[in-house]
Amino acid sequence: MGDTKTDDSKAAENNVNQNAEDASPPTPKEIRAIVLTGYGGLKAVKVMKRPEPSAPGEGEVIIRVQACGLNFLDLMARQGAIDNPPKTPCVMGFECAGVIEAVGEGVTDFKVKDNVVALTEYKAWAELVCVPAKYVYSLPPGMEPKEAVSMLMNYIVAYCLVFDIGNLQKGQKVLIHSGGGSVGLAVASLCKTVPDVTLIGTASKHKHDTIAEYFTHLFDHSQDYVQETKKLLPEGVDLVLDCVCGEDVNKGYSLLKPLGRYVLYGTSSIVSGETKSFFSFAKNHGVMLKWWQVDKVSPIKLFDENKILAGFHLRHLLYQQGCHDYVRGVVSKVFKMWEEKKIKITTDSEWALEDVAEAMQKMHDRKNIGKIILLPDKAPKPQQKAMKEKEKSITSGESTDTDPKDEQTPPPCIYESSENRFQIQ
């Protein structure tokens, strides 16, 4: 009888236990995100649970993401072939669109429930993203999140290349590489807003029928497009837009007429190991040495030949050089052109977050025509189908796996070391 607790003592003990439970910290909410776990092959990219962003800080907003953009920059980041690569694990992605859920102190241009699109320094591929408001842009009426990520980064780059740097004028001649990619098609659409422009593009042969309406002439990049261009335009071209780099710099420069402009805006030739890791490709094929075979150009040569050599790097312009006001002005101009139906949006395909590896592989293989987008709410492909595709890949010898030791550190950043090889003297 003495060992039996009274009802009052039991109630008191229950209250103590309940108070202890109430005092314990709440379990943090989680979101899905695409995480880079290490540098290398497609296995390094996984959908994982991450803590939900806390309240936004001063000058920040939190966005409920509805669509994400996949860019070639993401492939380079995954392989570590990018300047100042982040420490892994990290959330990937540079572009997303959705609805604002929270606004931090000092933010006056946005409010909760605004439809927006954002450029982020990584971390865009998640269900919730906290972003400084200076990198966030309001969507024009009628623009859907899918459309926003299909055009934002592409058209910012394209507008700067065509108008602000390229200074395209009526009747001029333009050559652009990777004409079937998302930036290439944006450039083509903008060129159509200028009268009598001749646009020559290089693109994979299988894309020619689909994109022919955008271009005056199309060549396969593997053929001698320099000689073919010289046959068509013996005097040369006014503007070369190059996202490939390597030996194409020398070729493009040779095509310029007096007062011609050559603009480098990418280095896609660095990502050549479509189904294998960059590390294996570099070791087996010596791509590190072959990639940057660019002649040096002196100011005197530019002076003598009346030619212009330029570069454009949106990520540096926005995050390192602080030109966010300039970029916002470009976004405003591009959105106005969209509202006036002067430009087109080309979306290649839509993918679930869980299928990001397959989406990346498609871009690696240069099979996309226009923008590839990721949708947090889209259901992933059935596992059975995914397994069959993986078995098929293994059977054909096209493994996407990487050696674990290859994923620990990124390769030497060619971008940073390149300044000793490609310089104005």
pLDDT of residue 346: 93
pLDDT of residue 255: 96
pLDDT of residue 131: 97
Q: Rounded to the nearest 5°, which phi and psi values hold at 251?
A: -65, -45
- Over the chain (425 residues), what is each successive 10-residue block's mean pLDDT? 55 57 68 96 95 95 98 92 89 98 97 98 96 98 97 97 98 95 96 98 94 95 92 97 87 95 81 44 41 69 94 95 97 98 95 97 92 97 62 46 37 37 39
C-alpha span between 234 and 339 (Å, rounded): 39
State how far Cα 385 lies from the chain centre: 27
Helix (H, G, I), strand (E, B) or coil at 378: coil
State how far Cα 179 lies from the chain centre: 16
Supply 337's token pair.
């052109």
pLDDT of residue 228: 95
pLDDT of residue 15: 60
State how far Cα 394 lies from the chain centre: 28
pLDDT of residue 39: 92
The pTM (predicted TM-score) of the whole model is 0.82
C-alpha span between 102 and 114 (Å, rounded): 10
* Sequence-ordered list of residues with C-beta below 8 angstroms from that of 206, at least 6 positions apart, any chain: 367
C-alpha span between 345 and 251 (Å, rounded): 30
| Whole-Å CA distances, 40 to 80, 81, 231, 248, 388 | 7, 10, 42, 26, 23
C-alpha span between 334 and 340 (Å, rounded): 10
pLDDT of residue 269: 59
The residue count of the chain comes to 425
